[in-house]
A and B are shown apart, each in its own frame.
Chain A
Amino acid sequence: SAVISQKPSRDICQRGTSLTIQCQVDSQVTMMFWYRQQPGQSLTLIATANQGSEATYESGFVIDKFPISRPNLTFSTLTVSNMSPEDSSIYLCSVGTGQPFSGANVLTFGAGSRLTVL
């Protein structure tokens, strides 16, 4: 399965600022997924980043707040814009190789970026 590196691993940010999280994969993947895990909560899918096209956002998430870039098949960024304390969460990127649930395909996650907004 793919190996994912996320940066930063953690950060403390001021209200109103923006932060960009990077996700680097050691192999080429078609789709990358960005999740959010709020304190004490489970993971929620924010958006899907497909190389060469606009990201697809899930209900409740908008591009102005969470712009995503996907410049190539091994890299993506998620920006959390105009942050408020409610944005304090762990943000995780994940990738799947091949068709889901087929053969050895596994949905792999990065270690996450833990953001605290003051």
Chain B
Amino acid sequence: SQELEQSPQSLIVQEGKNLTINCTSSKTLYGLYWYKQKYGEGLIFLMMLQKGGEEKSHEKITAKLDEKKQQSSLHITASQPSHAGIYLCGAVFTVPSGGYQKVTFGTGTKLQVIP
């Protein structure tokens, strides 16, 4: 099974609706990234979380990391068409050393927002 599972795989929501994407790990994380991927634009950094229970917000997006550091959620409030894209969580399982970090990415959640 995958080390990192994302759900749902895809999501279609009406503009203005709230939504949540989950990222679940089979083992304790050292830290976690959330990225958004749009065609031709690479990965756009959203948040990084490292402490158990941590929560961060930017504009209408909130990301949380649970106390056990095995699950994270990304919540979008009042979704807009500009939120459409593929959302990826990326986990670091081992303590980074000398700048090296291996990020294991989830399978991604494709979000469509219907105007």
Instruction: Give CA–CA (A42, B104) in the complex, Å.
Output: 9
Instruction: Give CA–CA (A43, B108) in the complex, Å.
Output: 10
Residue of B nearest to A109 (CB): B43
Residue of B nearest to A106 (CB): B45
Contacts of A48 in B (CB 8 A): 100
Residue count of chain B within 8 Å CB distance of chain A = 26
Neighbour of B99 across the interface among A43, A58, A100, CB < 8 A: A100
Instruction: Give CA–CA (A67, B105) in the complex, Å.
Output: 23
One digit per residue, 1 when the CB lies within 8 angstroms of any chain A CB and 0 when it does not, for chain B 18-42 equals 0000000000001101010000111
Tell me whether B101 and A92 are in contact (CB under 8 A): no
- Is B61 on the interface with A (CB-CB < 8 A)? no
- Is A63 on the interface with B (CB-CB < 8 A)? no
From residue 69 to 118 of chain A, which have CB atoms closer than 8 A to chain B? Answer: 92, 94, 96, 98-101, 106-112
Residue of B nearest to A90 (CB): B42
Instruction: Give CA–CA (A96, B45) in the complex, Å.
Output: 12
Tell me whether A92 and B43 are in contact (CB under 8 A): yes
Residues of chain A touching chain B, judged by Cβ–Cβ distance below 8 Å, are 1, 4, 6, 9, 30-31, 33, 41-45, 48, 56, 58, 92, 94, 96, 98-101, 106-112
